[in-house]
Structures are given as structure tokens and as C-alpha cells.
Homo-oligomer: A and B are copies of this chain.
């Protein structure tokens, strides 16, 4: 598409050569043919070094550019709009059941549902209207998937799993696997035994939840593991049995929440953080990256870091300890010298 045409669509003003644009990209990664954007004079150097063929800049920008410029009031938003133009359309998932899917006769499939190749839907499962179940998915007995929920390829839902409407479940997600529970001990003869505790509950996912690739959420021992509405879970997250996430929370990549813990509304668990079992995190609390929380957080501290987790202030002081100690060392040396 010509830059002039793009400027017209985006409501911007073209300056410079009317180049051909074929894609969008950040200032640093852009290649010739790309449109990029900058909203901030902080990034003057990046603009000057970009290999993009055109760049979206705000009206007040006066630092020049090495390529064609399209002036728009909101470069960030304009670039998203342009990206939508260049992105291939999302793959169409037309209603219908692929002939190579295996759907149990007793499964209830709603109106306008897409079911992909090599997908298995077992008996008694219910798929809501307009849901998309892509290829190679496994949906176990008695599962319920809400209307308009999109399940990407190679997801598994063990028996009894419930998913609300308008959810997005990415590739490789595992819902309803057995929770980790064993009784250990010694028999009268002194030999060790390890005995599995049956995991009889289910996983229930609320409306509007998104779950990232290869994340695992275990079924409850008794009752249900619950992920409340609008919770957004990233990739490779682990959620143990009987965990309750009330809703509107985020769990970032590779974080983990152990069994029976409750995460309040509007919490954010950052990447690689770990939350122990059988505790409560109050509404709105954030657990920083790689933090380890082993005791309930009542919300009096809004953001915790470190392991054991503490306030940012305490974590900052701990980080500075070597410096503090070095100063003390010098002080003592001085005191000793004076004493001589």
C-alpha cells in the first residue's frame, strides 16, 4: 500500500516520498518496507537509526526522520490500526464439525460451533453457541465450554472441566489434571508407602478468562479449583488443586500458585513468582517477579518482592545491605583506631 493511501486511512499528513508499505514494526526491528511509529522525543536516536520506510510521528515532532513521515495525533493507536490492515486475516473457523473429528453422540454441540480435525469430544460434553474448538483438542466426559469461547489446538480438558463464555484457551493448556496429593508413611513392618489421594473435584473457569500456552491447572481434591472472571493467565503457569482466583487478576509467565490458596480480586502475580499453599492474597496485591510468598498477605502492603516476600522498601534495604555493612566496617575500623 502506498504511504499516501495509508495516510488517508489513518487521517494523517504525508511528508516525503510516497513509498510502498508492506508491514509494521517497532523502530529497531523495522525493515525496509515497514511502517514504524514514535510518540516520544525520548526516542530520537531510534527514529534516526530506523530502517523503516516510513514512520508515524506526532504533529509537534521537530527532530526530523531518515524516511517518509506520516504525522498523526496518536502514533501508537495509528500504528495498531495500520498493523490490522497488514496482518493477514485471522484464520476463518467456519461453523461445522470436521469429518475427522470424533464427537460422542451424547455431546451437545451448540449453534455455529467450529470443531477442527482430530479433535475428540467425549460423551455428555456441552459446547456453547459460537464456540471455536480447533484441531487436535481433547474435551473429556461431561465438560462444559461456554458460548464464543475459543480453544486453540492441542488443549486437553479432563472430565468435568467447566469453562465460561468468551474465554481464550491457548495451545497446550492442561485443565483438570490430577492435583498432587499423596499420603506417605511407614507400615508396621517399617516399609515405606506412598498412596495416591483421589482427586475427585473439577476445574471451573469463569467468563472472559484467557489462559496462555502450556499452562496447567489441576482439578480439586474435593470441590473445584476456580479461576474467576476476566482473569488473564500467561504461559507455563502452574495452578494447584483447590486454588481459588476470585477474578480480574493477572498471573504472568512461569508463576505458580500452590494448592488451596486464594488470590483476591485484581491481583497481579508477576513472572516466576511462587505462592505457597493454604494462604490468602488480599484483593489488589501484587507479587513481584520471582518473589516467594509463604504467608497470607492482608493488603496492608500492596506490592511484595523477594523470598520471603517483603515490601519494596524492605527489599530495597536488603539489596543495599552489602553497602550498609561496608560502611559499618569502616566505622568500626575508625572507632578501633581512635581507641588505640
- State A160–B26 Cα separation when bound (angstroms): 18
- State A262–B29 Cα separation when bound (angstroms): 10
Residues facing B in A108-157 (CB within 8 A) are 116-118, 120, 122, 134-136, 138, 140-142, 152-154, 156
Q: Which residues of B contact A79 (CB under 8 A)?
A: 222
- State A210–B136 Cα separation when bound (angstroms): 24
Q: Which residues of B contact A45 (CB under 8 A)?
A: none
- Give A140 Cβ to nearest chain B Cβ, in Å: 6
Most chain B beta-carbon contacts within 10 A, residue among A226, A236, A317: A236
Q: Which residues of B contact A339 (CB under 8 A)?
A: 335, 338-339
- CB-based contact B142/A156 at 8 Å: no
Q: Which residues of B contact A160 (CB under 8 A)?
A: 88
Known: A222-B83, A223-B30. A271 touches B290 (CB 8 A): no
- CB-based contact B325/A177 at 8 Å: no
Tell me if A318 counts as interface (CB < 8 A to partner B).
yes
The DSSP consensus for interface residues of chain A is loop
- State A242–B29 Cα separation when bound (angstroms): 9
- State A158–B88 Cα separation when bound (angstroms): 12
- State A289–B255 Cα separation when bound (angstroms): 13
Known: A90-B159, A138-B153, A307-B290. A248 touches B214 (CB 8 A): no
- CB-based contact A224/B25 at 8 Å: yes
Most chain B beta-carbon contacts within 10 A, residue among A25, A91, A223, A236: A223
- State A266–B186 Cα separation when bound (angstroms): 12
Known: A100-B102, A339-B335. A253 touches B25 (CB 8 A): no
- What number of A residues sit within 8 Å (CB to CB) of B? 111
Residue from B25, B158, B168, B319 within 8 A of A222 (CB atoms):
B25
- State A201–B200 Cα separation when bound (angstroms): 38
- CB-based contact B102/A118 at 8 Å: yes
Instruction: Write the chain B residue with the least CB distance to A192.
Output: B248
**What residues of chain A have their CB less than 8 Å away from a CB belonging to chain B?**
23-26, 28-30, 34, 79-80, 83-84, 86-88, 90-91, 98, 100, 102, 116-118, 120, 122, 134-136, 138, 140-142, 152-154, 156, 158-160, 168, 170-172, 174, 177-178, 180, 182, 192, 194, 196-198, 200-201, 208, 210, 212-214, 216, 218, 222-224, 226, 230, 232, 234-236, 238, 240, 242, 244, 248, 250, 252-254, 256, 258, 260, 262, 266, 271-272, 274, 276, 289-290, 292, 294, 307-308, 314, 317-319, 321-322, 324-325, 328-329, 331-332, 335-336, 338-339
Query: Would you list 14 pairs from A and B whose C-beta atoms are within 8 A, ordered by A residue?
Result: A24-B223, A28-B244, A88-B159, A91-B159, A152-B177, A158-B171, A168-B196, A194-B232, A214-B216, A254-B256, A290-B307, A328-B332, A332-B332, A338-B339
